[in-house]
Amino acid sequence: MRVWVKSSGIDSNILDWVKKLDSFLENNGVEVYVDPVLGHVLRREVLPESEAERADFAIILGGDGALLRSVQKSNGRLPPVIGFTVIGVGFFLYYKVEDYPKVLANIFSGKYGVESVRLGEYVAERFKGVFLNELSVWPHTGRLIEFEVSVGGEKLYHARSDGIIVATAAGSTAHALSYGSPIIMPPDTPVLEVVFPGVLSPLIKPLITYSHEIELQVMTLPALMSVDGQNTTNLEHASIIRVKPSDMALKLVKVSDYMRSFNERIRLRLTDRGLSRII
């Protein structure tokens, strides 16, 4: 078995877990590869995200950012992901890091399932790619964005707002959720959710589309497109962005006895891990 390992960083807490995991994998006869960052601290063969699919599984330790970076750098081409949360919510990192011996023992013996999480894809001028959570558009200078929205080739809205968020079903539990959008289940559903933060007109409502292409034409200059909060691109005047559910899906490994429940993960998200409170 070949396993590719990536972490959110190499601070002392995460690195301690990485070293324990690496030793456990070696003792179980697993061939271990690491991402370029971990390659500076572990004497293992390095595989960049773009080559991670050579492994049988990807193990990601840390938080949501590590998974999002991996999706972006691999263009969504990852082996089935086993995710252990060390920091943050880690919404799609299903396991507590301290449970890694039990989780991996089940996987080694074939006692696991796989869940598909549908990606979105986009084309914007000369740029294209996929996203796990969302594609969003924001002004550079705090001004409003003026835009037009078409769904399935039919023009629908011309409006102004603070920004635009186009989220997958998976992304409905992320940035879009903070603007009051609904949670969409299950995560393999080929839908897109469009939210308009700070929209001026009460006539402009959020959208949920099924298996349709959404076209955004951004009239404001300058504007910025952000993909999964990882990649940013400056948009030219009247730029057109086409977004649709992708045929690609991220595969997540499920060992039911040790998974954090959806209720637990969404509760952490909605309560901001207890960080937001009245004082």
Binding site: residue ranges? 64-65, 69, 133-134, 143, 160, 162, 170, 173-178, 230
Peptide bond before residue 222 is cis, with ω within 30 degrees of 0: yes
Give the whole-angstrom CA distance, residue 12 versus residue 16.
6
**Phi, psi (rounded to 5 degrees) for 244:** -155, 160
Q: Specify whether 64 is catalytic.
A: yes
Binding site residue list for NAD(+): 64-65, 69, 133-134, 143, 160, 162, 170, 173-178, 230
Catalytic residue among 64, 188, 228, 272: 64
Find all residues with CB under 8 Å of 265, minimum gap 6, and list them. Answer: 89, 90, 91, 173
Q: Residue 2 — left, alpha, or beta (φ > 0 → left; ψ -120 to 50 → alpha)?
A: beta
HSE (CB half, 13 Å, CA atoms) of 128?
Answer: 7
**258: nearest Cα among 118, 113, 133, 132:** 113
DSSP 156-179: EEEEEES-EEEE-TGGGGTGGGGG
**Exposed, middle or buried by CB within 10 Å (0-12, 13-18, 19+), for 68?**
buried
Q: Which residues are catalytic?
A: 64
